[in-house]
Amino acid sequence: MPEPCPVPTTTPPNPARPPASGSALRGATLKHVVESQQFTVPLLMELFDRSRGMEHVVARGGTLDYQNRIMTTLFYTPSTRTRLSFEAAMHRLGGRVLSTEHAGAFSSEIEGEQVEDSIRIIGGHSDVIVIRHTAEDGARRAAEVSPVPVINAGDGNGGQHPTQALLDLYTIYRQRPLDGLSVAIIGELDKGRTARSLAYLLAKFDRVKMFFVSPPQLQMKQDILDYLDEHDVRYELESDIDRVIGEVDVVYQTRIRPERVRDMAGRNNDGRENDGLKRYAIDSKVVQRMKPDALILHPLPRTVELDKSVDADPRAMYFRQAMNGLYVRMALLTMLLDKEQAARSAWW
Ligand code: CP
């Protein structure tokens, strides 16, 4: 059995914008996927190249190339997209899947077992583990003891969701260059693990500007802002969607729970009264003010912050975005499993 793989540190050794020619980095740092910061631009480009290839693999019905490989999904909190997309990805690669949904109740955690012990056991039965844990450091703790790669499928209530951000970025990348983008990230950003992970990834590209649009009480947390400051990435904190919606190339809308904005009534720029939720929601009237070629993304699930009247708009990318999750997760699994295979061969 190989030793546990090293876990990336919070401050990665690679600069935020490594040179494009850094081909030596390709595939060199991806052992676990715990946080977005660990991705370099060359690693992202390798992932996206593979994801393009996976679009063709899926169109052919899949491959049997990974038929002896086993992936375990260990989800302590609910998921529709992430778990099923990972499981579909492994099936399309020809691999097999062990799955524990609602793991807090349907695993030995109910007997008091710690995640570290669960992972040591599961790591003996599988080649890769995908975990969604209740604690913000759950995936990191898992990776620290795991003999096989661990993928963070969303941790805690305000941690990170790096594979969601990877598919978000891939969706944008398929439509336009990533350098020079202006992006509005909207929602309750303090708890927004997808928004947090995407901000880290966008920060790796040149001349990107982010607008964090949220009620002040729910704004992006200081750790992300510090990271952006350290890496000279431009951003603005904004509380009025009207001031940015017509300027940006990408609108990344995220969940807004009505109970968190109910008391935030106010007025729009035009003086209209608005309840707290509507100030941050997108509907067919709001999208009329967007650039004609802007992209509308949402990690889903949505509730009231993204009206169904937007779905028919050609700029609405969110269902394509969810589909891209399959390709990106297939690509990610191959990157991890190929490395894992090489490590096991060397060990034995
Ligand atoms: N976007 C996302 O993480 O969705 P699920 O919670 O359904 O996995």
- Asked if 129 and 149 count as a contact pair (C-beta separation under 8 A), the reply is yes
Chain centre to alpha carbon of residue 54? 18
- Asked if 220 and 199 count as a contact pair (C-beta separation under 8 A), the reply is yes
Residue 297 CB–ligand 1 contact under 6 Å: no
Whole-number Å distance between alpha carbons of 204 and 231: 9
CA of 335 to the centre of ligand 1 (A): 22
- pLDDT class of 263 with cuts at 50, 70, 90: low
Ligand 1 site-directed mutation target among 81, 196, 319, 329, most atoms within 8 Å of CB: 81
Tokens matching residue 246: 């017509």
Q: What is the pTM of this model?
A: 0.88
- pLDDT class of 1 with cuts at 50, 70, 90: very low
Q: Please, what sign has the CA dihedral across residues 264, 266, 268, 274? A: positive
Residue 108 CB–ligand 1 contact under 6 Å: no
Mean pLDDT of 193-203: 98
Whole-number Å distance between alpha carbons of 114 and 142: 10
Whole-number Å distance between alpha carbons of 300 and 130: 19
Please identify which residue in the block is written with the tokens 């691999």. Answer: 95
Mean pLDDT of 46-53: 98
226-252 confidence digits (pLDDT tens) = 999 999 999 999 999 999 999 999 999
Whole-number Å distance between alpha carbons of 301 and 253: 11
Residue nearest ligand 1's atom 3 by CA: 82
Q: What 3-state class would DSSP assign to 73?
A: strand
**pLDDT for 25:** 31
- Please report the atom of ligand 1 found closest to the CA of residue 82: 8
Q: Output the CA angle 7-227-229, nearest 5 degrees.
A: 160
* pLDDT above 80 for 7: no
For the chain, domains (ranges, CATH) are 36-159+325-343 (3.40.50.1370), 176-316 (3.40.50.1370)
- pLDDT class of 326 with cuts at 50, 70, 90: very high
**pLDDT for 303:** 87
Mean pLDDT of 104-108: 74
Q: What percent of the chain has pLDDT over 90?
A: 75
